[in-house]
Structure 1
Amino acid sequence: MEIRRLIGGDAESYRTLRHEALLKNPVAFSSSYEDEMYYEEQEYRQRLDSKFTYTFGAFNERQLVGVVTLVPEGKVKLKHRANIFAMYVTPSQRGHGTGRLLMKKAIQQAAELTSVEQIYLTVNASNEPAKKLYASLGFETYGADKKAMVINGTYHDEDLMVLFLEKA
């Protein structure tokens, strides 16, 4: 399994996997397939080429099978924080450590950014495998966002999690 930062040239593979994620796991993302279905490759290319975000991909025999995005805060008062977004592993690769490798790479990147001291994420409250993964990496639940999303008339809660980085 190869884990590396995605670049603009990975845009079409990212677009395909992102659409899969939004279709197969709609409760895991605040964006929906309907929000992004008309996004062109160029829009994803710009996202991946941004100097202000870090999107990492997991490749199994050159096939993109998982992604995660780390976004450091830009405002002066929040520069000690970063956020994890868009974590997804294709179903065939789940249970093989792919998600753990992606998260470790994002955490490593955050630790290398000298200003970042803590990483935040939200996770669907019913997604036990993801919550277990995040907790095993040191994330702690600090709150809940009740009725965070509504999908087809059904409300979904999210757990709010944080990881405090050990800085030397």
Structure 2
Amino acid sequence: MRIRVLTKEDTQIYRELRLQALEHSPTAFAASYEEEVTYEPHYFENFLNNQNHIVFGAFEKEQLVGMVTLKTNTRLKLRHIASLKGIYVHQDYQGEGISKPIIAAAIMRAKELRCEQIHLKVNVKNQIAKGVYTSFGFEIIGMEKDILKMPNHQYIDEYHMALYFDEWDEA
């Protein structure tokens, strides 16, 4: 497996995996497949070109099989906090340990950028993902009840999790 930052040249494969993620794991994302499938390719290219979005991809041969976005803050008082978003592993590769290396790459980049905290949200029922995040040292710092409302009127609660770096931690 190879891990690298995605670029605008990866727009098509990023779009394909993103849409698969939204279609196959709808309760894991605030965005919906029905919305994003209508977006033009330049939307995804602009996302990959945004300097505040660093998208890490895991590749098996030439196939993108996993991804995570490290989102940094531009606001002066929030620059010390980054977020992990859009974490997904292709359905055929789930359970093969792909999420950990890409999350580790994102955490390392956050440290290099001198971030002091990384935040993420996870569906309270997704115990596997919660376990992966906990293995990196993330801790639950809160919960939002009924934060997502699915088309079938099912409500989803999400944990807010955070990973704190000591100021003397080195990248």
Q: When the two structures are superposed, what TM-score results if normalisation uses the length of structure 2?
A: 0.95
What SS is found at the alignment partner of 2:10?
A: helix
> How many residues of Structure 1 are paired with residues of Structure 2 in the alignment?
167
Which residue number corresponds to residue 137 of structure 1? 136
Which residue number corresponds to residue 59 of structure 1? 59
What SS is found at the alignment partner of 1:148?
A: strand
What SS is found at the alignment partner of 2:74?
A: coil
Residue 31 (structure 1) aligned with residue 31 (structure 2): yes
What SS is found at the alignment partner of 1:45?
A: helix
The residue type paired with residue 142 of structure 1 is I
- Write out per-residue CA displacement over residues 53-90 of structure 1, whole angstroms, 9 at most, x where no aligned residue: 10010101110011100111111111110111100001
Which residue number corresponds to residue 81 of structure 1? 81
Task: Give unmatched runs, 5+ long, in structure 1.
Answer: none
- Offset of 1:167 from its aligned partner? 3.3
Which residue number corresponds to residue 106 of structure 1? 106
What SS is found at the alignment partner of 1:11?
A: helix
Residue 69 (structure 1) aligned with residue 69 (structure 2): yes
* Amino-acid identity (%): 40
Which residue number corresponds to residue 154 of structure 1? 154
Distance (whole Å) between structure 2 residues aligned to residue 107 and residue 11 of structure 1:
23
Residue 120 (structure 1) aligned with residue 119 (structure 2): yes
Distance (whole Å) between structure 2 residues aligned to residue 52 and residue 78 of structure 1:
13
Higher mean Cα deviation, 22-31 or 88-97? 88-97
Q: What is the RMSD computed on CA atoms of the aligned residues? A: 0.8
The residue type paired with residue 22 of structure 1 is L
Distance (whole Å) between structure 1 residues aligned to residue 71 and residue 80 of structure 2:
12
Distance (whole Å) between structure 1 residues aligned to residue 36 and residue 127 of structure 2:
26
- Offset of 1:166 from its aligned partner? 3.2
What SS is found at the alignment partner of 1:102?
A: helix
- Offset of 1:49 from its aligned partner? 1.3
Distance (whole Å) between structure 2 residues aligned to residue 141 and residue 14 of structure 1:
29
Which residue number corresponds to residue 4 of structure 1? 4
Distance (whole Å) between structure 1 residues aligned to residue 121 and residue 143 of structure 2:
9
Which residue number corresponds to residue 163 of structure 2? 163
- Offset of 1:93 from its aligned partner? 1.1
The residue type paired with residue 161 of structure 1 is M
Task: Give unmatched runs, 5+ long, in structure 2.
Answer: none
The residue type paired with residue 130 of structure 1 is A
The residue type paired with residue 61 of structure 2 is E
